[in-house]
Amino acid sequence: MKVVLITNTYAPYREPVWRALASMVDELHVVLMRETQSNRIWEMQKIQAPYTVHVLGATGCFFGGSKHLGLYIGGGVRKLLKKLNPTHLILAGYTAGPYVEAMFWAKNRKVPFVMWYESHQYSSYFKTGIVSFLRKYLLRRADAWCVSGQMSKDYLESMGIPANRITAGFNSVDTHKIAEMLAQSPHEIWTNRSGQARILFVGQFVRRKRVDLLLDAFSALPSGCAKLRLVGYGPLENELRRHAKGLNDVEFMPPTKTLESTVEHYLWADIVVMPSDREVWGLVINEALAAGCYVISSSLAGVTPDLVDNAPLDVGESIDPRMGAKALVTSLLKTINNIENIRRNRLAIAKWGQKFTPERTAKALHEALVIAKKSK
């Protein structure tokens, strides 16, 4: 297999997946629309990789407003595909111009292609109308589909896409690096930990993350029972700082740029909360579980059914942010009252979280490539 994978931009959590996939195929080329994205602080790592990266330099990247949409045009994707002459194609999107160009390039040349799809019923903006019609039309052009979890699989099936051509790999992070850092930390720091429960939020300070809901819930907890750390950045930072003014035991921390620095916060924490009212997946939950943290995760996020609700042990709870702060307060109080057991079970939680490896995701992508070839 000579595989070309086209995606929006460099994302550090994807690199281990690309590396794993490269070991399963003869040749892998990763094509980026842009090297960086305007609403992210990620920096492309300069590493020796078993795959080749190409940057299209597509123009017209727009992020903002309530929908945070990214639109790209140009970049010469057809010229690049002609040069690379792949036997298989993976598209990590379908809405931007270069994706559509690549899709029809593949169909015209009978090159099997896989749609790497992550959205679901709660994350999709357009459920009716012309945009919904176009989405279904474009999605159905694929020969096989690889999804991030059960929510995405259910959503594709609701569009009439056959289940036997969908593989599920779950989204993943560099669990191996997290496991190494966890192994270097003395386990007694959790089992012997006493005092206030430590609650952590990691992510962007944007409306859909509902950090305001977390602050409202924290303010309703009994005084002194917990401390809250908010790690992130974004346009709502000043608003959230005003929101937290007068609350004891709340600290804001600067954003992290590496997985290692993020894991340091997980090692500090007992509980990680992700109260988003819209979340395609929610990789912070992957990271938190792999580091052994108990999680309170939005029921509207793709990650929650697979990694939290269906876990074989108690690793966390799901909450519906649409129910308001009261539901989150109830979940936090229940968790805080059980904090000693949570601290004792940290290694068991980590063992579960570390099952969702980059290799697992890459294997699902490879299976989809095989299905795509057979369907031609």
User: Per mean pLDDT, which of 38-42, 100-104, 136-140, 309-313 is the most reliable?
Assistant: 309-313
Which range (59-68, 98-107, 255-264) has the least confidence?
A: 59-68
> Rounded to an integer, what distance in angstroms lies between the CA atom of residue 317 and that of residue 334?
10
Residue 126 Cα distances to 159, 161, 187, angstroms:
13, 18, 47
Residue 313 Cα distances to 160, 197, 202, 240, 317, angstroms:
34, 21, 24, 34, 11
- Which has the closest alpha carbon to 167: 148, 151, 181? 148
Residue 66 pLDDT level (bands cut at 50, 70, 90) = very low
How does pLDDT run across 331-347, given as a tens digit for each residue? 999 999 999 999 999 99
Structure tokens at 302: 């793709």
Strands, E assignment, 205-277: 226-233, 250-253, 271-274
Give the model's pLDDT for residue 185: 83
> Computed from CA positions of residues 361, 363, 368, 369, in that sequence, does the dihedral angle turn out positive or negative?
positive
Give the model's pLDDT for residue 126: 62
Residue environment code for 244-261, b if the CB has 16+ CB neighbours within 10 A, otherwise e:
beeeebbebeebbeebee
- Residue 128 CB burial class (10 angstroms; 0-12, 13-18, ≥19): exposed
Task: Answer with the residue of higher pLDDT: 61 or 4.
Answer: 4
Mean pLDDT of the chain: 90
Q: What is the three-class DSSP state of 130?
A: helix
Q: Can you spell out the DSSP letters for 57-114? A: --B-----TTTT----B-S-HHHHHHHH--SEEEES-SSSHHHHHHHHHHHHTT--EE
Give the model's pLDDT for residue 49: 81
Structure tokens at 8: 């929006």
- Which has the closest alpha carbon to 207: 303, 275, 122? 275
How does pLDDT run across 108-125, given as a tens digit for each residue? 999 999 999 998 888 876
User: Degrees (nearest 5) of the Cα angle 358, 155, 141?
Assistant: 85
Task: Answer with the residue of higher pLDDT: 307 or 34.
Answer: 307
Chain mean position to CA 11: 10
> Rounded to an integer, what distance in angstroms lies between the CA atom of residue 352 and that of residue 215?
29
pTM for this structure? Answer: 0.90
Give the model's pLDDT for residue 328: 97
Would the pLDDT of 75 be above 70? no
Residue 369 pLDDT level (bands cut at 50, 70, 90) = very high
